[in-house]
């Protein structure tokens, strides 16, 4: 059986990668202009109020108390001196006032077919870099030391910031949009759910995998099949079955298609809103609102659809890798349930999954906002190796997509798909899980569904390859 190249897609591909129309761009341009002036106005007004309140409070405080007050600037200076912080020197150059040309460029990238690749020139400037927009300074990084600090060692210093506002319409008051105590309560509730689910998998996947295997045969036309929608339906069915007790496939086809289309549109709208930061509310058209309301399980769908779509894109393009997988899974019986122990005895399959998650991570870009003055381990000074002070409110984006392509970690062939790089275990020790390799996020926000997703993918891959061992590219498709 062969695969139509034009209809396969890479794991972790975001809804942001859909090409948009130029007509929509014109609407966005107008929105951005309004957003710009609204943002500047609210920021200046906020600073003015804070300044007035500070002056008023000082007037009524006894002189003895004034000597003990420390201003935010003084606190930041003290922290910077304590850690020997130095400023980040590299920055993204711009030409227009308030760096509006960078904002325009960002929106063109959003509407392109390969968003993350088009961001590469930004992340190639330096391991940690400044970006100026609207007169404010933000940061982005691919430094594993900084990423580890953001996700783990200084986790409490960061919050979601404006990302919460951008995604609230779709995700609501759920774990992906929460910080602090509310997030901890939600995570504990969901953790208990996954503990229950973990006792049922991977055996519980059997009927859904059987449905996937038979669906491939039914969808084939002239021995060619589009695997992407089938894999999407499978991942959504496993999520809804094990978390809600009813598979997504039990819905009518029209309803299933509506769920998919509404979610895609809502997720794309969130991509626009997150770029508007504190004025994300300016982008809120009726179609977007309706798409968000139509997804009753939007949060779970977001985690599952973009966390793991099983992808044969590289597998069918690499006969050597395919042959090795086929040899390894020959030890798995073709009938009955596949057990966890059997999956764990397939080391090359795990190497294949690691490599797929390296090049197509579940969360390619992540944004955090400092909720207090904090320190990045590296990025300051002329050599970029000194600590960096991040003031309260500063935004920082880390790119796992570009982190996983660093030659300093993954070698000169870092952009090449090569699962063999994981075989001796040395790479994972060098990269360090949660620092140089971030498969399912890391730290306190490590994805609770990691085991679920890996078992789901492993089970499906084994059974599909057992059923269709001669799977290959469609004739005439460039490799």
Determine the length of the chain. 479
Q: Report which listed range, 5-9, 13-17, 219-223, 347-351, is most confident.
A: 347-351
Mean pLDDT of 163-170: 86
3-state secondary structure of 99: helix
High-pLDDT (> 70) share of the chain, % = 81
Rounded Cα distance between 471 and 465, Å, is 8
Banded pLDDT at 243 (limits 50, 70, 90) = low
Would you kindly state where each structural domain of the chain is located, as residue ranges? 80-161+371-403
CA distance 247 to 279: 38
Q: What is the mean pLDDT of residues 9-31?
A: 37
Q: What is the predicted pLDDT for the residue at 167?
A: 86
The residue-averaged pLDDT of 384-391 equals 97
pLDDT level of residue 53 (50, 70, 90 thresholds) = very low
Over residues 183-216, the pLDDT tens digits come to 999 999 889 888 888 888 899 999 999 999 999 9
Q: Which of the four pLDDT bands, split at 50, 70 and 90, describes residue 68? A: low
Residue 27: which pLDDT band, with cuts at 50, 70 and 90? very low
Helices (H) and strands (E) in the chain, counts: 21, 10
List, as residue ranges, the binding site for heme: 447
Q: What pLDDT is recorded for position 358?
A: 96
Q: Which positions make up the binding site?
A: 447
pLDDT of residue 85: 98
Q: What is the pLDDT of residue 115?
A: 86
The set of residues, in sequence order, having a beta carbon less than 8 Å from that of 189 and lying 6+ positions away, is none
Give the pTM: 0.82
Of 66 and 202, the one with more pLDDT: 202
Residue from 295, 18, 285, 320 nearest 174 by CA: 295
- Please tell me whether residue 127 adopts helix, strand or coil conformation: coil
Please say whether the dihedral angle defined by the alpha carbons of residues 330, 333, 337 and 341, taken in this order, is positive or negative.
negative
Average the pLDDT over 73-93 and give the result. Answer: 96
Q: What are phi and psi of 178, to 5 degrees?
A: -120, 155
Confidence of residue 282 (pLDDT cuts 50, 70, 90): confident
Q: How confident is the model at residue 2 (pLDDT cuts 50, 70, 90)?
A: very low
CA distances from 356 to 44, 359, 415 (A): 45, 5, 12
Range among 18-27, 297-306, 440-449 rated most confident: 440-449
pLDDT bracket for residue 171 (50, 70, 90): confident
Average pLDDT over residues 16-44: 40
Residue 311's pLDDT is: 61
Confidence band (pLDDT; 50, 70, 90) for 257?
A: confident
How buried is 214 (Cβ within 10 angstroms: 0-12 exposed, 13-18 middle, 19+ buried)? exposed
Decide if pLDDT at 410 tops 70. yes
Q: Mean pLDDT, the chain, as a whole number? A: 82
| DSSP H or E run through 174 | none
pLDDT at 295: 65
Asked whether residue 450 carries a pLDDT value surpassing 50, the answer given is: yes
**Which pLDDT value is given to residue 355?**
95
pLDDT digits (tens, 9 = 90+) for 304-362: 443 344 467 788 888 999 999 999 999 999 989 999 999 999 999 999 999 999 999 98
State the pLDDT at residue 254: 83
Closest CA to 266 of 8, 26, 16: 16
% the chain with pLDDT above 90: 52
For the segment 258-278, what is each residue's pLDDT rounded down to a tens digit? 877 888 888 888 888 887 777
Check residue 51 and give its pLDDT: 42
Under DSSP, the state recorded for 311 is -
The average pLDDT across 449-470 equals 94
Q: Which residue, chain included where needed, has tokens 């794991």?
A: 11
């Amino acid at each position: 059986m062969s695969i139509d190249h034009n209809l396969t897609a890479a794991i972790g591909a975001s809804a942001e990668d859909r090409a948009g129309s130029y007509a929509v761009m014109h609407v966005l341009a107008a929105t951005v202009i309004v957003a710009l002036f609204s943002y500047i106005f609210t920021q200046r007004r906020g600073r003015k109020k804070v300044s007035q309140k500070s002056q008023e409070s000082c007037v009524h405080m006894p002189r003895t108390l004034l000597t003990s007050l420390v201003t935010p600037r003084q606190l930041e200076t003290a922290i910077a001196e304590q850690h020997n912080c130095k400023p980040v020197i590299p920055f993204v150059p711009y030409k227009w006032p308030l760096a509006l040309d960078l904002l325009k460029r960002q929106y063109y990238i959003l509407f392109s077919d390969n968003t993350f690749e088009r961001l590469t020139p930004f992340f190639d400037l330096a391991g940690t870099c400044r970006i100026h927009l609207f007169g404010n300074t933000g940061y982005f990084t691919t430094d594993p030391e900084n990423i580890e600090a953001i996700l783990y060692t200084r986790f409490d210093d960061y919050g979601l910031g404006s990302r919460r506002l951008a995604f609230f319409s779709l995700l609501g008051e759920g774990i992906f949009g929460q910080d602090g105590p509310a997030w901890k309560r939600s995570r504990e509730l969901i953790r208990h759910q996954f503990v229950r689910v973990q006792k049922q998998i991977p055996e519980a996947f059997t009927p859904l995998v059987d449905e996937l295997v038979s669906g491939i045969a039914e969808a084939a036309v002239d021995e060619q099949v589009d695997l992407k929608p089938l894999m999407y339906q499978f991942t959504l069915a496993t999520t809804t079955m094990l978390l809600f007790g009813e598979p997504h496939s039990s819905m009518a086809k029209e309803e299933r298609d509506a769920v998919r289309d509404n979610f895609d549109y809502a997720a794309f709208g969130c991509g626009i809103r997150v770029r508007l930061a504190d004025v994300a509310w300016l982008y809120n058209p009726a179609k977007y609102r309706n798409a968000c309301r139509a997804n009753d399980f939007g949060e779970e769908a977001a985690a599952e659809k973009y966390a793991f779509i099983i992808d044969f894109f590289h597998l069918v393009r690499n006969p050597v890798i395919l042959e090795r997988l086929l040899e390894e899974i020959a030890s798995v019986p073709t009938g009955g349930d596949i057990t966890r122990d059997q999956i764990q005895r397939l080391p090359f399959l795990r190497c294949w999954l690691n490599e797929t998650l390296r090049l197509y991570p579940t969360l390619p870009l992540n944004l955090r906002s400092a909720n207090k003055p904090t320190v990045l381990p590296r990025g300051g000074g002329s050599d970029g190796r000194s600590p960096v002070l991040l003031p309260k409110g500063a935004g920082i984006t880390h790119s796992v997509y570009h982190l996983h392509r660093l030659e300093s970690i993954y070698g000169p062939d870092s952009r090449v798909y090569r699962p063999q790089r994981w075989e001796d275990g040395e790479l994972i020790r060098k990269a360090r899980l949660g620092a140089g390799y971030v498969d399912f996020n890391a730290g306190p926000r490590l994805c609770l569904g990691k085991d679920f997703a890996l078992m789901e993918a492993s089970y499906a891959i084994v059974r599909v390859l057992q059923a269709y061992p001669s799977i290959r590219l469609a004739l005439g498709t460039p490799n």
